[in-house]
Structure 1
Amino acid sequence: VCIAGKSVHYIVDGNKGDDSNSGENSHNAFKTIQRCVDQLMIGQPGEECCIREGRYHEEININGLNGIEGSPFVIKGYEEEIAIWDGTIPIQPEQWDLDEETGICSATIDEDIIALFLDDDLLTAARWPNALWSDKTVFNNSFWGHCMDDSSPGNLIDDGQAGLAESGIDATGAMAILNIGSFVTWSRPVVHHEPGASSFTYNHDMGDNHWNRAHNQYYFEAKLELLDIPGEWFYDMNTKKLYVIPPSSVCPDPSTTSLRGRTVDYGLDITNSKWVTVSNLTFFGAGLTAHSIDHIHSHIDEITIDSVQLKFPSSSRRMLGNYEPPPSQFNVIARATVEHHEKVLGRVSIINCTVEGSEGPALNYAGNNSYIYNNYFGYNDWTCVLDTAGGTINGGGERNEFFRNNMYFNGNSAGLRPGNFATIKENHIWAQNTGEIQNDGSSVQVQNDPQLGIHIINNWIHDSTKSAIRFDGGGQKLGVGGYVGDNVAWKCGGIVIKGDNHTIVNNLAMDKDREDKCSLCVIYRLRSDPVIENNNTIVINNGASKADGGTHSGTHGDRWPLAGKIVENNLSDMEIKKYMVDPDNWDFRPLEDGALNNGTEVKGPYQPGFSLTYWIPGRRLYKTSTPIPPSDSSVSYLRDAVMFLEAHDFDEHEFYLGTDESAVESATSDDNEFQYSLLEGNMFLLPDLSPNTQYFWRVDTRWGGYHYKGDVWNFITYK
């Protein structure tokens, strides 16, 4: 919050301001962010630029803004107002022409655009096979064309599932998105295709880079002929004509709808700067980047991005004929100095941000001792065009902490690829589309070198196609020295550990979709590879549906035993869930008398019985979240407790319970629905429950004199 007297601050008001003003208060506000930044450039460390509500279509480069420790330069939203750093412009042509037969609206516009938004939601570039952003089918490989094994580099043959030959389209000149490198995807123009043909050609200039004939897939976009369903658009840069089929089938009316086109890559580009904070802003259709210009004379250090929303930060330029990958448009790469000809990385902090709708990676970051905390990354990376292996989130540098983040429904084969000596802690990662629009992958993928010193602890990873955690390696190059402990992985590919000298303790891995394959895989040998792995690895106190060392004869029926130097007190049981309280409803406590609790050490990451605290990973909000059991669950009437993820800040939590939803929703601490309060912990003991009854409950937060009412959740009991 911009508070008078606390520091020198300048106000920006795009609606009422004027750049000839002093900017020192709301009555004399600047009109543009650029004018305010210019003032900071000649100011003193600690000065702030406070931006009032409105949309600001500006491209700003900050070069050489250097605060000091304790007095950073700050660019932020004003109090609780919503300031939008906007990379789009209104599309309001003089006239729309409607083709009654096709439903296509067309008009001439003034500026080239790379993305189109209707009422601030993304429309989909015309494509074949059809898929839409609006229903998230763009993340589903059922809506891609798939190739026959007879395909060769430069000549792809459709296998008939999507029906390229039957479609009748002429794809020549369209852009082809080509997942032909397993976990690598490119874009290239279609050189030749004839209507009715099942094959097409493109210029294959990427070598044999992971060519995988068994899993090749593709789709076309950026050609007018492909525009055929509501929610799609096309732009012809030669005629400056925009074509769109609105979801409503009615041409856009500026009096009732907002149509906007993206014209910029980055809203804010920070170079050669340190001790700069950007906070409490929304970037819409615009990227945010901080990076050094070169490795010798430039630095980026102590950059903080706090409470920033990035909506659709990355867009490709394929509609303008540019097939290069979309730039990573949330990009914070710290580089402080060069000492003795070696790069020394600075530090970045990314805190409490949300990133949604990025066509490319959601975040690239690098630095030493950096802090990526309490962020949400959802619905990103649905084309995966990178020209190289990468992830939805790519980390670099050393000793960085990726802590309490949520990752949901992102598309890349790798969810998170961390840097060296990283800590990956208390994150909730689920419904990742690993292995869908790219082959192979893992929600957390650790390459060989970053395994040394990495700590992956207290994470939940579930409901994804491929593995939860994977250490890469094989042959003569083995990663070593990683720690994987106290994680829960379910309904995914489990935990896969290659390499050696690792420590794998107190994990749970279960419900793999292939019961004949291991959910905890500490690899002894990779198929026919003669190199033995994990000879010095420690594997203790883990529980899994199936735990072993991988296959050794090419068939999943022949398995190596669990590898390791010390392999003790592990449970491998296809019925492992029966030894927990209620794992289907995220209660992973071991039963007092079950096989997870029958030794000197408990297997898995939870202790049996009732206690004040049940650890739940993920992003903490201003109010409570992540109820256990989840809402709409069915539970035993003998259930002893409910749990929840605490608010980010709290003095106490209040527990309400009843059988009348409206009564629970409106209850205060004076009503019968109020049970009791907790000053610490996140587990409430339940009263005796009746069978076959629906219960409603909520948990409120009190903090610093504020009262944040919780959502109403429910469960049904069975006997």
Structure 2
Amino acid sequence: MRSTLRRISMAAVAAMAVLTAALPGTATAQGGQEQQGRTYYVATSGSDRDSGGRSHPLRTIGRCTDLVRPGDSCLIHRGTYRERVTPPSGRAGAPVTLAAYGDGPVTVDGTRAVTGWKAAGGGLVAADVDLPLARDENALFLDGGRAMEGRWPNSGSDPLNPSWAVAERSSTDQHIDDPDLPDGDLTGATVHLWAGSNPWSQQTGTVTATSDGALDFKGGNYRCTPLCMGNQNYRNYYLVGAKATLDQPGEWYYDTGEKRLYLVPPKGGMAGHTVTAKYQKWGLDLSESSHVTVRGLGVWGTSLRTGEKSTGVLVEGLRARYISEFSTLPMPRDDELAIPPGEGHIVASRVLDSGVQILGSGNTLRDSDIGFSAGTGVLLRGSGNTITNNYIHDVGWMGSYTPGVEINGSEHTVTHNTVRRTGRASIDTAWQLNGVPFKDNRIAYNDLSEAMRTSRDGSPFYVCCNLDATGTSIDHNTVHDADGQVGYYIDNSSSQFLLHHNVAYNTGTRGTFFNGHSGVSLGNRDHNSTYGLGVGTAVRLSGATDATGTYFSNVVGLAPVEISYPIRPPWCATTWCHRPIRSTPTPATANCGHGPGPPQSTRARRSTA
């Protein structure tokens, strides 16, 4: 109910924003002051040789952005605009505004039509086309729906519910044995791995040789174990990007050498069907812009980004679909990481180069609907940015650490968002990406559900690693109905997190987990939170060599609180539980610095703190 009401509210606000944008001659600054400037009009029936007046609209948004100055507006009539939009900067109090006119959807489309299909033998058709993106970032759409790149085994249309092959236990870190492998040459295909003893991230490699029931590949992670193929608990994989895998209608393969696109046609042939291919990674590119308002626009097969120096950008009422597409998980550059290569390469893959990106300072994304990304939904990076009242969904299906919302930096506000159906976390914070400080952030009133659909070791709200979150509050959030292990996971020696008035249910074995991971877990607090059905432990603190300042109080739950070795004092846990507190402290010393130590009684009790 809460999620539904939020979406209704979001839709209503977005609709009001579009209607406001329709008022000719008026642009509204981010601070709410009306700024009078010139208004240009854009329509698919217009001409870029015209003046841009109401009766003589321009044809392209790009021509309008060539003309506008601070305080000016582009009002855009309904239609599809296949172009890359790069607006100039406005000024504080006089933004440049790009807004839907209000007579129907306005879509910046990052795709172009593919025509000239001819029979190519073997039941395939082909078209000669020079696709400009990297091979692993290509995307194809058939009759307005995402077309599946040729893969084995075949899978359904939902990328967050993929089909996997399972390798034999005789496989090794760079070799797969599987008697069910398809016939044909698979050399050059991408092998997507979800393998290991406890695979907390997926990875990809390239097939180098194939034989009957076996293949060799290069790539993936050299950390064996835990992340490798072989005699492991998980040996899942699939193949993508080989012509030999084309065997069901709608599947495609692009030969980069021949610049030829192959397709299994729909039943009955290509007559009456439309195919488009992705051409633009950033259709709304504000990477060099500040003080720009984008209101009521849509993007399809492309995305929006601001830049590291952007400020005063307001994006509201955005409808984004199929924002990022890729089929490989490359190792990031060493200079993108704050930790040694290896493990960090995998967890950081594609986090920084996918999604709608709000970078810089003092920028806002609100009242928007963002869906369908192989990677990140929204990347928040810099300082003092706001993401509020958005619906973010169906993202992160490649199974790396790309979440619904990635938060890097300080003084951000992430509130009242609904994040649903993610491959891994709904909201993720990651120090390993350049070691950016994480201070004074507010993450509150978010509804996070159906997370961890392509991973198991993680949570809807996930923190990694070694973060000092001084001044940060995680409060009034609800996480529920997720795979994985935990509702709120403060992992790998992160400290100074304040959690309060949060809710978790149906989230695995724990509500909140403070994991020292053989290091410290300092000053972490959880107060007045509620942990319901489907949670094995309300709060767990473990693996910390020092938990000074850690304090839990007034936790309401149907499961115990657990504190386990090797913790040094002082710590404090006072709880209202339907089940007892369970603790295994170090002898006679694990206490709050005053009194006899943690309770051993099996009776529930209520805190007076």
Identify the TM-score tier after normalising by the shorter chain: 0.7 to 0.9
Task: Report deviation, 1:304.
Answer: 1.6
Task: Report deviation, 1:504.
Answer: 0.8
Q: Structure 1 residue 368 and structure 2 residue 383: aligned?
A: yes
Task: Report deviation, 1:32.
Answer: 1.1
**What is the aligned partner in structure 1 of residue 51 from structure 2?**
22
Take 1:152 and 1:510, find their aligned partners in 2: how far apart are those partners?
42
SS of match in other structure, 2:312: strand
Q: Structure 1 residue 543 and structure 2 residue 556: aligned?
A: yes
36, 46, 67: which one pairs with 2:71? 46
522, 526, 531: which one pairs with 1:509? 531
Normalised to the residue count of structure 2, the TM-score between the two structures is 0.76
Runs of at least 5 residues in structure 2 that lack an aligned partner in the other structure: 1-20, 27-35, 133-137, 330-348, 431-437, 516-520, 581-602
SS of match in other structure, 1:38: helix
Q: Structure 1 residue 224 and structure 2 residue 230: aligned?
A: no
**What is the aligned partner in structure 2 of residue 422 from structure 1?**
441
Take 1:408 and 1:156, find their aligned partners in 2: how far apart are those partners?
36
Take 1:36 and 1:259, find their aligned partners in 2: how far apart are those partners?
29
Label 1:166 to 1:85 Cα distance change in 2 as closer, same or farther (>3 A). closer
Contact (CA 8 Å) 1:235, 1:241: kept in 2 or not?
yes
Contact (CA 8 Å) 2:576, 2:607: kept in 1 or not?
no
Correspondences of 1:535-684 after superposition (within 5 Å): 535-549=548-562, 565-573=571-579
Amino acid paired to 1:549: E
SS of match in other structure, 2:238: strand
SS of match in other structure, 1:124: coil
**What is the aligned partner in structure 2 of residue 36 from structure 1?**
64
Take 2:221 and 2:428, find their aligned partners in 1: how far apart are those partners?
28
Question: Percent identical across equivalent pairs?
Answer: 21
Pick the structure with greater CA Rg.
1
Task: Report deviation, 1:146.
Answer: 3.9
Amino acid paired to 2:455: Q
Contact (CA 8 Å) 1:124, 1:233: kept in 2 or not?
yes
Label 1:204 to 1:280 Cα distance change in 2 as closer, same or farther (>3 A). closer
80, 84, 95: which one pairs with 1:55? 80
Take 1:539 and 1:205, find their aligned partners in 2: how far apart are those partners?
38
**What is the aligned partner in structure 2 of residue 456 from structure 1?**
474
Correspondences of 1:72-471 after superposition (within 5 Å): 72-93=95-116, 95-97=117-119, 104-112=123-131, 114-132=138-156, 134=157, 136=158, 138-140=159-161, 143-147=163-167, 151-153=171-173, 155-158=174-177, 163=178, 165-179=180-194, 182-197=199-214, 199-203=215-219, 211=227, 214=232, 215=234, 217-245=236-264, 249-254=267-272, 257-292=273-308, 299-316=309-326, 325=350, 327-334=353-360, 346-384=361-399, 389-412=401-424, 415-417=427-429, 419-432=438-451, 434=452, 436-447=453-464, 448-466=466-484, 467-471=486-490
Take 2:76 and 2:225, find their aligned partners in 1: how far apart are those partners?
47
Range moving further from structure 2, 119-128 or 7-16: 7-16
Take 1:364 and 1:371, find their aligned partners in 2: how far apart are those partners?
11
Take 1:562 and 1:165, find their aligned partners in 2: how far apart are those partners?
53
Take 1:70 and 1:400, find their aligned partners in 2: how far apart are those partners?
22
Take 2:427 and 2:164, find their aligned partners in 1: how far apart are those partners?
21
Take 1:551 and 1:249, find their aligned partners in 2: how far apart are those partners?
61
**What is the aligned partner in structure 2 of residue 668 from structure 1?**
none
Take 1:97 and 1:217, find their aligned partners in 2: how far apart are those partners?
35
Task: Report deviation, 1:362.
Answer: 1.1
**What is the aligned partner in structure 2 of residue 621 from structure 1?**
none
Task: Report deviation, 1:285.
Answer: 0.3
SS of match in other structure, 1:239: coil
Label 1:110 to 1:193 Cα distance change in 2 as closer, same or farther (>3 A). closer
Correspondences of 1:700-711 after superposition (within 5 Å): none
Amino acid paired to 1:330: V
Contact (CA 8 Å) 1:495, 1:521: kept in 2 or not?
yes
Normalised to the residue count of structure 1, the TM-score between the two structures is 0.65
Amino acid paired to 1:223: A
Contact (CA 8 Å) 1:269, 1:290: kept in 2 or not?
yes
Amino acid paired to 2:579: D
**What is the aligned partner in structure 2 of residue 631 from structure 1?**
none
Amino acid paired to 1:452: T
1:546-586: per-residue Cα shift (whole Å, max 9, x none)?
Answer: 2233666xxxxxxx999973322320429xxxxxxxxxxxx
Contact (CA 8 Å) 1:306, 1:352: kept in 2 or not?
yes
Label 1:506 to 1:307 Cα distance change in 2 as closer, same or farther (>3 A). same
1:527-560: per-residue Cα shift (whole Å, max 9, x none)?
Answer: xxxx4343432211112232233666xxxxxxx9
Contact (CA 8 Å) 1:367, 1:398: kept in 2 or not?
yes
Amino acid paired to 1:404: H
Correspondences of 1:474-485 after superposition (within 5 Å): 478-485=493-500
Take 1:391 and 1:359, find their aligned partners in 2: how far apart are those partners?
10
**What is the aligned partner in structure 2 of residue 680 from structure 1?**
none
SS of match in other structure, 2:83: coil
Runs of at least 5 residues in structure 1 that lack an aligned partner in the other structure: 293-298, 335-345, 553-559, 575-595, 603-719
Take 2:264 and 2:367, find their aligned partners in 1: how far apart are those partners?
36
Contact (CA 8 Å) 1:266, 1:329: kept in 2 or not?
no
SS of match in other structure, 2:244: helix
Take 1:13 and 1:147, find their aligned partners in 2: how far apart are those partners?
55
Label 1:76 to 1:209 Cα distance change in 2 as closer, same or farther (>3 A). farther
1:403-448: per-residue Cα shift (whole Å, max 9, x none)?
Answer: 011111111356432743321111111111x1x4334111111233
Task: Report deviation, 1:89.
Answer: 1.2
Take 2:483 and 2:389, find their aligned partners in 1: how far apart are those partners?
25
Q: Structure 1 residue 13 and structure 2 residue 42: aligned?
A: yes
**What is the aligned partner in structure 2 of residue 66 from structure 1?**
89
Range moving further from structure 2, 394-403 or 443-452: 443-452
Task: Report deviation, 1:496.
Answer: 0.9
